[in-house]
Amino acid sequence: MTTAPKQLPHLVFGGELERLDGTDFRDLSRLDIVGIFPSYAAAHAAWKAKAQATVDNAQMRYFIVHLHRLLDPAA
């Protein structure tokens, strides 16, 4: 019997920041929810693609959230 690997979901999202030196978004209702990915590698690839696509907008930032850490903080 083979055990499936532990799920490690990651969320990628972004939006325009109010200031370059902060993490407050200009408009929370306009956040770009890229998606939830099954691994950090997949999330990083999606993050990188979005970051490169918005490189001309200095205020635009994308983030990776380790959802698996929120779901199981003891791990």
Question: 22-61: per-residue pLDDT in tens?
Answer: 999 999 999 999 999 999 999 999 999 999 999 999 999 9
What's the structural domain count of the chain?
1
The domain in which residue 42 lies consists of: 1-18+38-75
Residue at 24 is within a domain: no
Residue at 25 is within a domain: no
Residue at 30 is within a domain: no
Residue at 71 is within a domain: yes
62's CB contacts (< 8 A; 6+ apart) are: 12, 13, 14, 32, 34, 47, 50, 51, 54
pTM of the model: 0.87
Query: The CATH number of the domain where 61 resides is what?
Result: 3.30.70.2400
Decide if pLDDT at 75 tops 70: no
